[in-house]
Each structure stands twice: as C-alpha cells, then as structure tokens.
Amino acid sequence: MLSSKVTCNSHGQDSSYFLGWEEYEKNPYDEVKNPNGIIQMGLAENQLSFDLLESWLQKNPEIAAFKKHNNDQCIFKELALFQDYHGLPAFKNALVRFMSEIRGNTVTFDPNNLVLTAGATSANETLMFCIANPGDAILIPTPYYPGFDRDLKWRTGAEIVPIHCSSLNGFRITKPALEDAYKQAEKQNLKVKGVLVTNPSNPLGTSLSLHELDLLVNFISTKNIHLISDEIYSGTVFSYPSFTSIMEVLKNRNLMNTEIAKRVHIVYSLSKDLGLPGFRIGAIYSNDERVVSAATKMSSFGLISSQTQYLLSEILSDKKFTKTYLSENRRRLKQRHEKLVKGLQKTGIRCLQSNAGLFCWVDMRHLLSSDTFEGEMELWLKIVYEVGLNISPGSSCHCSEPGWFRICFANMSEETLAVAMQRVKSFVESIVKKNTQSRHQQLLKRDSRRSKSLPKWVFELSFDHQREVSDER
C-alpha cells in the first residue's frame, strides 16, 4: 500500500560511502573521550576557517541580533514573516558578486538568472527536473561524487551513464570517452539530455583544464544537449592551475548570447567555500529564462530561510572580509593538503596531483590483496574497522579501477590528522611485514620442494664440488 519510492532501494544509502559514515557515528573518535574511535575522513567539510567567520560575527554583533547595521532597529519580525520564494534581492546581489570575485572577476553574473535552493543537492535535482524526463540519461565523468546517485536519480527517474576516465592520463575527460558514453546510452535506448561535471572535481581535487572545457562545449553543441557545471568547490582552488569557470569559456568564445549558452547551467553553494553546509545555501545560474522560471517555482519546496539570507548578505557584502577570507582559506587548504600528501608519502602511498578541494584521490592499489573490487572492499573494511579511519573507496565513486580512495583533510584538527597518519603508517608497516614473511615462507617451501625433487647424485656432485673448493683454499 506504499509508493515505489518507499519500497525501492534506489536511494543509494546502502553504498559504502554512506555505510562508512554510519560506522563512524557508532564509534566517533575523540582525543580524550574515545581515542581509539573511528576518525571521520569521508566527509568533505571545511572547518579550517571558522575562526574568520566567528571573528566577523563578534565585530558585527548587531547583524546576528537581526538589527540593521549602525541602527538599533530590529528587523526580526520583518524576516520572520512570509517572504517571496524568489529570495531577498540583497542576498542575490551579494552572492553573484561573491561568485565573480572567486573567478577573479573575469565574468559577471546577473542576479535575475539566479535561483536560490536549499543547498547544491536541491540545485542539482531541480536542474534534472528541468532538463530530463523519467528514463532520460545524464552523462557524468568517473569517478564522481557518490551522492549524485541519490540527487540526480532517486526522485527524478533519470539515469546516469558513466564517462569512464582512466588513471593513465590523470582521469582527464577525453573526446573518445565522451563519445563512448553517448553510444553506450544509445545501446540502452536512453535519450541523453546532458553532461554533468564537477569543477573542481569531487573526488579528484583537480580543476578542469581549458582543453576539457572546450571539449565539453563542443560536445554539447554537436549533440544538442545540456551541460551542468557543478562549481561548488570553485573557491577552494589553492594552487596552479587557477580555476576556469564554464562561464569564462562561453565568454571567451563569444557564445554568451547564443543557444549554446542557454543549455549551460551552473550549480553553486556556500557549503564548501565558506564551510556552511548546515546553512543550506545553494543556487542555480542559468541563461535560459524558462529554466530560471521553472526552477524558481520548484524552489518553493526547498527555500533558504530569510534570516540566513539576511545574515549572509551582510557577510558577503563586506568586500574587505571576503577578499581576506578567500585568500587565507586557500592558504590554509594548501598547507593542510601538503600535510596529508607528505604524511601518506612517508608510508609509501601516493596521491593524484591535485590543486583544489577538501580531499585527495589516493592510490592504494599496491596494498590490495587482489586487483579487483573485492580486493578493494577487503582493504576498505580493514581501514574502517582495524585502522579506525572512515575513507571513501573508489567503487563508491564509480571509479573503473580498483584501489583508489578519497581521503578528506579539512574537517579535523591538525592533531587529529597526525593521529590518522600514524595509524596509516602502522597499518602499512604491518602489511609490508606480513607480505615479507609470506614471500619468505613461499621461498622456503619452493626450495624445500625443489630439494626433495632433486636426484641423489646432484647432492653428491654438490658435496664433491664443495670439497674440491675447500682443498684448493
């Protein structure tokens, strides 16, 4: 007597990505209360720059008290009453300015093309409702964020067809991979409605190159489909190459006022750049008036509170603060990223070279008992239960090669990261020791079998040779 949404198992909650979270919640690490607990390294959360936000709030207490700046007038009642679901104009203006600032002001955004949503999750799902019918397909490069299986498919009825990328070229998008994915969708009788990319990539931590962005624009132009660029990590790019937004590509190719531009949509959020996932601040930016209109109507099912919009509009309007914040946050991310990479290198584990994000894409193929996804799951279970670290296996990100893992570094203290690295070091040393002992035992067995199979005259000949050598000495 219940709907198929209740009875089906397509949400993706049984993925190892979410199961790792559940295990962490049962036994969370605490330096004092639970030092042997599981350390959460599967959550892409930015906790490195909270002090900057807290400092701003302390200097501007009237804003948090819902009073107008330099004015004792309380506006709590005004914010608490019904608001238009188009959003507060002041917040939309502040948000588009902030988005431009992140991109070095190379492009500008029109607040009239912005739709506010309760986080990027809602933004991505809303866009899927706008561009795809149930049974239509969206192409996504692998590896990709595990939550997309939930966000894009569960309620919309759309399908995901992977664009398989390889470690041989650093998991970069190629034209053959795009064409292969499109053909695979056709074989499955799926109508392809678009491509979705995360730029910078989650889980790779790499920003898309200009070559890849040009490929994508050419591809959607040829196929007459949409492109969704999820740029939720755009403000986390901490080293070369710098971030290039899809909007900048359209501008440089003189495509801004074309039909192609109407099929390009951006998703953004303040969850990663400002570290505010609990505030549920997301947005869709589209040049298509019909998409903006429909998405705005749909946004009534997931609005951002007026109080949140007011507070963030004041913070983002402080240009001196945003400039300082973005610069310092990038510096801290770079520093923390280096600590994780160097810590793993000391144990013989390497990471994909990256320049953005709150995580590293880590190569543990040499630690697998077998070059299979079964071997990957076996290693992951050991890392969760024996090592006490929750990390995300590549299979949960639909990686086509076993042995890769996503490890987050920005959601913990430096001291906790040091504990995690020590645990990894001890674990790898134990594996190396076991492998050495195993190889030694195999050699002994092989030598023993070989000795037993040799005829008696070989031993006599060997004995005579040793005696001759001894006599010569």
- Beta carbons of 155 and 165 less than 8 angstroms apart: no
Phi, psi of 381, deg, nearest 5 = -60, -40
**Left, alpha or beta for 348 (phi > 0: left; psi -120 to 50: alpha)?**
left
- The one catalytic residue in 230, 273, 288, 363 is 230
Preceding omega of 241 cis (within 30 degrees of 0)? yes
Q: Which stretch of DSSP H or E encloses residue 390? A: strand 389-390
In DSSP terms, which residues pair with 135 in a beta bridge? none
- Beta carbons of 50 and 66 less than 8 angstroms apart: no
Active site residue 187: no
Active site residue 230: yes
Closest C-alpha among 465, 449, 467, 448 to residue 457 = 465
- The one catalytic residue in 92, 153, 193, 272 is 272
**Left, alpha or beta for 107 (phi > 0: left; psi -120 to 50: alpha)?**
beta
Active site residue 232: yes
Residue 131 CA: distances (Å) to CA of 122, 135, 295, 416: 14, 12, 10, 43
- 3-state secondary structure at position 163: strand
Residue partners of 363: CB distance under 8 A and separation at least 6? 167, 349, 350, 351, 352, 403, 404
Taking residue 209's Cβ as centre, other Cβ atoms within 10 Å add up to 15
- The one catalytic residue in 17, 24, 145, 310 is 145
Helix 373-382 crosses helix 16-26 at what angle (to 10 degrees)? 10
Distance of CA 109 to the CA centre of its chain: 25
CB contact burial 379-414 (16+ within 10 A = b; e otherwise) = bbeebbeebbbbbbbbbbbbbbbbbbbbbbbbbbee
Residue partners of 198: CB distance under 8 A and separation at least 6? 144, 145, 230, 231, 232, 233
Closest C-alpha among 212, 211, 184 to residue 198 = 212
- The one catalytic residue in 63, 102, 232, 284 is 232
Catalytic residues: 145, 230, 232, 272
